[in-house]
Amino acid sequence: MNVVLRLEQVCAGYGGRLIVENVDLDVHAGEIITLIGHNGAGKSTLVRAVFNLVPIRTGRILINGRDVSALPSEHLLAAGLAYVPQHRSVFPRLTVEENLWMGGYSLRDKTLLRERTEHVLALFPILRERASQLAGALSGGEQRMLEIARTLLLDPAVVMLDEPSIGLAPRMVDTVFENVQILRAQGKAILMVEQNVRKALSVSDRGCVMEQGTVRIRDQAANLIGDERVARLYLGQR
């Protein structure tokens, strides 16, 4: 399988404190990898560091073999890396369709922008139904869907999702994870942080358990669901 995102000995943190230490990780095209671990384990810090929102001290980040470690966040999307943060990032006073156009703001070819917008609306039919509504009037789950759809306008190779199900009703949690599987079917490499461990692993190919800023366990997702250590610490089983 094609390695799209590669992390090599990544160390990152704030001020004088390292939060992520010596993380190596490969994510392939058409693959979902979920990072799990307790609060404070470094999961969100890691994906923020990959998107250059947290300073990287040492190590490298490569997308399709290109070293993007020093690229500022605003250039990373053009380099093929998309990031959907924990907190809502839609433009509430713009319509759904206008939000999608904002996702393709750097596309100078307006025909291509229209084609990609149509493609995204075909993937997410509920957004077509809501196209003329203000994004701020959508439910939390629909806003999350819009954020995920918006990442596709520049056709990124990698999509990183930080707690995509946080604060959502159970029905919308299922929908969001269905959307994540759609991204995989589109050939995207997906790196996801998620507290809903069982649900996340059930749709993932592989999982990584982070503790104290580094990856302690990595395995096929199905194996992690059945792993006694993971079940005891993260799935609420005894």
User: pLDDT 10s per residue in the chain (238 long)?
Assistant: 699 999 999 999 988 889 999 999 999 999 999 999 988 999 999 999 999 999 999 999 999 999 999 999 989 988 999 999 988 889 999 999 999 988 887 787 888 888 889 988 998 899 999 999 999 999 988 999 999 999 888 899 999 999 999 888 888 899 889 989 999 999 999 999 998 999 999 999 999 999 999 999 999 999 998 888 787 777 655 5
Write down the pLDDT at residue 237: 52
Write down the pLDDT at residue 236: 57
Give first-to-last CA distance, the chain, whole Å. Answer: 36
d(CA 220, CA 205): 6
Q: Which domains does the chain have, with CATH numbers?
A: 3-234 (3.40.50.300)
Alpha-carbon separation of residue 34 from 31, 117, 127, 137 (angstroms): 10, 28, 26, 30
Write down the pLDDT at residue 108: 79
| H-run or E-run covering 79 | none
DSSP string for residues in 18-58: EEEEEEEEEEETTEEEEEE--TTSSHHHHHHHHTTSS-EEE
Write down the pLDDT at residue 105: 79
Write down the pLDDT at residue 107: 80
Write down the pLDDT at residue 151: 87
Alpha-carbon separation of residue 63 from 4, 43, 233 (angstroms): 5, 19, 33
